[in-house]
Amino acid sequence: MLYRKSPLEKSANFSDKDVATLSVISTALLTSPEPDQIGKKICIHFSRESILSDVPSTLPPRTTVVELEPLKELEPDFEAALRRVKQQGYTLALNHFLPGECDRKLVELADIVFVDVLEKDEDQLKSMLNELSGCNCLLAAKRVEDDAHFQLTKRLGFHLFQGFFFEKPVIVPGRKLPSNKITRLNIYRTLEKGDMDLEELTRNIESDVSISFRLLTFINSLAFGLRYKVSSIRHAILMLGWQQIKSWLWLVLLSDVMPSDKTSELPYLSSIRAKFLERASANHDSRDVAPDTLFLMGLFSLLEPMLDTPMRELVESLPLEEEVMAALCGERNVYSDWLEVAKCFETGDWARLDELTRTLHLDPIKVASSYCEALVWAKSLYEQPGAPL
């Protein structure tokens, strides 16, 4: 996967390598190989800084190739970071290998070494391969543009091949992608955990100025009516509690992913759906569906119009159960019935709502009060300082 700032550009054009890396990672989070594509991997270029910051850990080791540029001298801290990457199960690839331009230790660490074969004859390639003798790595021929070079590189012992001779790059628009900041990816991973890790969550939020500011202004708003000022992220998290901080952070992440040309009504409506489904389940003490699960289903139920991307492409990267994914994609099951209850309130389809409450064995009064709770919660949330939008 390569970075392009716009569909019109033919080569990488960026002022910050780390931003480019994170943009590509964001794409990879939603375009990972399908489970049935055994052996398929995504190759992504990482800068030195992003590897030292443990950015590769946001992607699954089984399907990710960590690609890096050659270095004349491999510093001890970077070598240790690369060894950690390998210990975690990632494949390490060395790009643009040139004799005499790369520390031997880096070559020996690599699982794959890319050699640019364009405009190189057989003698030049043999000379380059001699420099790689004794290394236990796969040889990858890069920029193979015709059959002659393909046959030559095969004969010389290359294992992998890349170039226009096989396929030209396909532009994948970045519109559907999540936030391109390291902290947002780390927060996303933290939220997927069942229980709160206070230290980890505090550390991740504190490393993001925007989220820290919004959280502190939110907790100190009139909605909470506190007699004292909350001045630390840790204190704010403890005040809100795991359930409420999770809900608030999901809304922040959802709002950040939405393109600027989309109406803010979409995440607002999503938040109402999410809270309504959560409260309706909790108020009925339902054992068939968990309030947390219904909250996320409601929250993600409008991702398709938000991101102009088919829901079936989006659900694979969401922290949801299979049945919930199916419901979001329009398949009928118990979760789709719950989602339809929320939609009935939005459209005023009271006849269908009565049918659904009977089917799900819900108390109409509790359902109505749950929707009122959701409206009050969303209204107070979005009208306060530090609101997600």
The CATH code of the domain that includes 315 is 1.10.3210.10
Average pLDDT of the residues in 358-382: 85
Does 154 share its domain with 199?
no
Is the model's pLDDT at 63 over the cut of 90? no
Lowest mean per-residue pLDDT among 2-6, 224-228, 273-277, 313-317: 2-6
The number of domains in the chain is: 2
Residue with tokens 């403890």: 238
CATH number at residue 44: 3.20.20.450
Is the model's pLDDT at 94 over the cut of 80? yes
Lowest mean per-residue pLDDT among 29-43, 119-133, 203-217, 356-370: 29-43
Separation in Å, CA 278 to CA 246, 304, 342, 364, 384: 13, 21, 11, 16, 22
In tens, the pLDDT along 127-178 reads 888 888 888 899 999 988 888 888 999 999 999 998 887 776 655 554 433 3
Alpha-carbon distance of 115 to 161, in angstroms, equals 10
Is the model's pLDDT at 30 over the cut of 50? no
Contact 224, 252 (CB under 8 A): no
Domain of residue 43 covers 17-172
Does 133 share its domain with 276?
no
Average pLDDT of the residues in 5-32: 47
In tens, the pLDDT along 1-18 reads 655 454 444 444 444 454
Does 165 share its domain with 100?
yes
Contact 236, 206 (CB under 8 A): no
What confidence score (pLDDT) does residue 199 get? 84
Determine how many CB atoms are found less than 10 A away from the CB of residue 321. 14
Is the model's pLDDT at 357 over the cut of 80? yes
35, HSE (Cβ side, Cα atoms, 13 Å): 2
Contact 68, 48 (CB under 8 A): yes
The verdict on residue 315 lying in a domain is: yes
Is the model's pLDDT at 215 over the cut of 70? yes
Is the model's pLDDT at 59 over the cut of 90? no
Alpha-carbon distance of 144 to 146, in angstroms, equals 6
Contact 257, 23 (CB under 8 A): no
Contact 88, 69 (CB under 8 A): no
Greatest pairwise CA separation for the chain in angstroms: 82
The verdict on residue 341 lying in a domain is: yes
**Does 89 or 58 have the greater pLDDT score?**
89
What confidence score (pLDDT) does residue 183 get? 61
Average pLDDT of the residues in 231-248: 81
33, HSE (Cβ side, Cα atoms, 13 Å): 16
Is the model's pLDDT at 263 over the cut of 80? no
Task: Name which of 115, 109, 173 is nearest 135 in CA terms.
Answer: 109
Average pLDDT of the residues in 350-365: 91
**Does 7 or 277 have the greater pLDDT score?**
277
Does 136 share its domain with 221?
no
The verdict on residue 1 lying in a domain is: no
Structure tokens at 168: 């030209």
Does 81 share its domain with 163?
yes
**Does 283 or 263 have the greater pLDDT score?**
283
List of E strands, 80-188: 91-94, 112-116, 138-142, 160-162
